[in-house]
Amino acid sequence: MARHLGEDPLVVSAVIHASIERQVLDASLRVLERHSREPSVVAGLSKVLKDLGTPTDLRPNVAGEFVLSHRTCEVLGGKETEFLTSMGITNVDEARFRSLRLTWVRQANEATLLKFWRTYYEALPKDPDDVSGIEAAAEQAKKAIADASGPARFLYDQISLFTDTNDHPFATAIAQRRVLKAGLTFAKGLVRPDPASRESRDPFGNGPLKYASPGGNLRIYSVGLDGKDDGGDRKRDLGIELPYPSNLKR
């Protein structure tokens, strides 16, 4: 379902896709916590992670928004006089005068909207796993229309709901993926992932995922939305706690 929704070329589809993916990943983390020593469960969760594929790529969706904005403005083009007449303005000269002003406003908004989506698309990283690049692209796009008004201003105000690292679902899903992958690595009795690799990096922190050993267990976590290390606290951080693998040194 999430994959199907993500195929629709609109940003909201990508957001829904990522949100559903987060639910799947959260459930997978909880299952691994309870059954990390059961090979069949570990194998099943490994397949789930593989089937999720790569993280959501925003570029096709942003390109779709560009096309939709352009097409919408095309449909509205030349309809100003008709709109004014429907509003009860029947004087031809007055309608023409007002339509010129509406035309200018529409064209200005169209230019701003298209500038936003074009800037956003060009700034987005080709690698959907690049969280910092996604955040930087959103900031660059917002700066491109910082002085806008009307529909473009509404877009500017709303875009942070799904692009800022501290809010958007993409970084959370990526953090969950990385925690789950690290947990599966330990559950399989393999070596600890290279902390210098990008897959070990915490999207919400300034370094790799955190590790702790409370009560003889192994805790793997991201510092979460607030960016603060709370020791893997379930309510504040984003992580998993497993029995410590017997074949690995603490």
Nearest to 100 by CA among 75, 73, 87, 81: 81
- Residue 216 domain-assigned (yes or no): no
Percentage of residues in the chain having pLDDT higher than 90: 18
- Residue 164 domain-assigned (yes or no): yes
- Residue 90 domain-assigned (yes or no): yes
What would the pLDDT profile of 78-127 be if each residue is shown by its tens digit? 665 665 566 666 665 565 555 556 666 667 777 887 888 888 899 998 88
Cα gap 121→185, rounded to integer Å: 35
Confidence of residue 5 (pLDDT cuts 50, 70, 90): very low
Kindly state the helix (H) or strand (E) to which residue 217 belongs, with its residue range: strand 217-222
Calculate mean pLDDT across residues 6-10: 63
- Residue 48 domain-assigned (yes or no): yes
- Residue 206 domain-assigned (yes or no): no
Cα gap 92→213, rounded to integer Å: 79
Calculate mean pLDDT across residues 72-78: 66
Does 1 have pLDDT greater than 50? no
Nearest to 113 by CA among 79, 61, 153: 153
- Is residue 234 packed enough to be buried (19+ CB in 10 Å), middle (13-18) or exposed (0-12)? exposed
Q: Which domain holds residue 7?
A: 1-190
Question: Contact at 8 Å (CB) between 180 and 32?
Answer: yes
What local confidence, expressed as pLDDT, does residue 57 receive?
84
- Is residue 56 packed enough to be buried (19+ CB in 10 Å), middle (13-18) or exposed (0-12)? buried
Confidence of residue 180 (pLDDT cuts 50, 70, 90): very high
The answer to pTM > 0.85 is no
- Residue 195 domain-assigned (yes or no): no
Q: At 249, is the secondary structure helix, strand, or coil?
A: coil
- Residue 3 domain-assigned (yes or no): yes
- Residue 45 domain-assigned (yes or no): yes
Domain count for the chain? 1
Does 45 have pLDDT greater than 60? yes
Cα 66 to chain centroid, rounded: 18
